Amino acid sequence: MDMRRLVGENVKRLRLARGLTQEQFAERSGFSQQYISDLERGRRNPTVVSLFELAQALGAEPRDLIAASGS
């Protein structure tokens, strides 16, 4: 699996686990809903800074966004 898709799946999994819609997560994170949607579908390549900001908004660690499932 490529890194973009892995990050997208992890963001979506964590977002849903926290009961957030894409719109709510976008508001909380400061990113647009379109960016979140594209990210979750593996169409965005987030920067290290973006990963940190996304993780903070999810109450997670940046490593949680890049970890393969089962890690």
**Domain boundaries along the sequence of the chain:** 3-66
Q: For residue 69, what pLDDT is reported? A: 75
- Give yes or no for residue 70 having a pLDDT over 70: no
pLDDT, tens digit, 9 for 90 and up, residues 10-41: 999 999 999 999 999 999 999 999 999 999 99
Residue 71 has pLDDT above 70, yes or no: no
Average pLDDT, the chain: 95
- Burial group, residue 70, by CB count within 10 angstroms (0-12, 13-18, 19+): exposed
**CATH topology classification for 3-66:** 434 Repressor (Amino-terminal Domain) (1.10.260)
- Would residue 42 be called left, alpha or beta, if left means φ above 0 and alpha means ψ between -120 and 50 degrees? left
